[in-house]
Chains A and B, each alone.
Chain A
């Protein structure tokens, strides 16, 4: 019995989501190993070896692993999986892309976005936009799992004494090629890691008006998020979206501004520690989950809030 966690990284640094996945793996019986598949990714392998609870890092270094293409990473993992009882990855877009391919090639089911480990074969996962929690038992020999990062505190980045073992790379499947990426550049914290998030919805009204949201975020040192309605309307890029199919976040403080609170949005933020809602519609469902609700015009209240915070 031991677990293999697939690391997420950019070939230079280990994504913290990996440490959440290691934390879930640590609740299972046996050792925790980490697979780093990348290109010139030695520093990532070292970082993974230092993570608390990791006893071994397998490092596969080849140009065709540089962008974590599922068609190349999946066969590599399948080749290793026979030695493990569990294969885990954080439920990021990268993890969600590759794990089902691995599971299918192993002819096992996948357990998506687990939020609790009950035993080595039984887990809890949210379904129906988080309105229902399902306790599920895997009947397969190898458990393929994606981990909801907000449900497991990351393990420490230090304290691990894992060894790094270079392993042979598999072939380039030649099915897909990385062309490029447009990543949103921001000096603000990342949504997934922020302790405070300020989100805007349709009520914000325009891309220009989002400056109001950003001003409050900067005052609080917060990340900026958005509802699907705001993203669909083109106010902000897709990677701002919080919700059932966007990012799931659980910060210390979540401020929802001009967001009505559709179940799909609530699914992405209702595990936040403290929720504040500012909305002119007193009946908006967001107030049912908000710890503190302020009924009012966001164009007046948000600048006033920035000013009040300065006092």
Chain B
């Protein structure tokens, strides 16, 4: 069974994003970019399934500008076998990403697609579910554990009240939550090896997908800042403040 895993180049999770002063977008000049942390978990899961003999080839896919090659090389250094970059400098929204991935699934015929549950830049949490819908496949979202069986997968999901278990028919789409695994550190020899792995580039037009945005960004702004608070000396002062000043207890 081939696995397709989708990875996004996103702002590094340690960086605090700020709006540009004219409100036209987010200031990403000279900002550190990394693989979206949830996608790292997705790649790790694919590799673990391969190591457990449950999967064959792992194909990593990214959508975006040429710089996404780096993200794909990271996925390959972790253990993905090859990469495909759907290259475009235009904005690509989740629905368009799902359509591009569907086109690649039609071509590559994987038995499983794994994605991060959301990207930490636009916080959309959409692409995996959209892809499953377009493919007519089952979906195991917010996965905390995935077990591949005979024709089905058992997926434990992080839900609001705790953990839910589903059985989903193969092929399926899985989206990775935080507790699915802990991604491995990439070792230097593997970075060198990854440079020799095949990386193909295609365009949205090659795949016959219209990526015209359906949502227009009107403006971005900074959220209202919280007024600075005070330090209290001890618990008695804290209780007094909460009772008499804030009146919340």
Which residues of chain A have a CB within 8 Å of any CB of chain B? 67, 69-71, 74, 92-94, 96-105, 107-113, 122, 126-140, 173-184, 192, 196, 220, 228, 231-232, 237-239, 244-245, 247, 252-253, 263-264, 270, 273-276, 287-295, 301, 304-305, 307-309, 311
Contact = CB atoms under 8 A, between A and B. Distances in A.
25 contacts: A70-B139, A71-B132, A71-B138, A93-B160, A109-B94, A110-B94, A110-B126, A126-B123, A127-B121, A128-B17, A128-B122, A131-B18, A132-B19, A135-B218, A135-B221, A138-B216, A178-B165, A181-B159, A181-B163, A247-B160, A293-B231, A294-B234, A295-B231, A301-B235, A309-B249
Contact of A175 (B16, B134, B168): B168
Given A93-B158, A264-B13, A276-B242, A130 B223 contact: yes
Contacts of B230: 291-293
B129 A132 contact: no
Contacts of A295: 231
Contacts, number: 264
A110 B126 CA distance: 8
Contact of A238 (B163, B165, B248): B163
Interface residues of B, number: 81
Interface on chain B toward A: helix, strand, loop, or mixed SS?
A: mixed
B125 A100 contact: yes
B241 interface: yes
Interface in B220-248: 220-223, 226, 228-232, 234-236, 238-239, 241-242, 246, 248
Interface of B: 11, 13, 16-19, 26, 38, 93-95, 98, 117-118, 120-134, 137-142, 144, 154, 157-169, 172, 177-179, 213-223, 226, 228-232, 234-236, 238-239, 241-242, 246, 248-249
Contacts of B168: 175-177
B229 A293 contact: yes
Contacts of B130: 100-101, 103-104, 110
Interface on chain A toward B: helix, strand, loop, or mixed SS?
A: mixed
B217 A136 contact: yes
A287 B228 CA distance: 9
A16 B234 CA distance: 38
Contacts of B26: 127-128, 132
A86 to B, nearest CB: 14
B94 A105 contact: no
A253 B249 contact: yes
Given A131-B223, A132-B18, A287-B231, A178 B159 contact: no
The 6 closest A-B pairs by CB, nearest first: A175-B138, A100-B129, A104-B130, A128-B17, A109-B214, A100-B126
A244 B123 contact: yes
A304 B138 CA distance: 52
A237 B162 CA distance: 7
B222 A138 contact: no
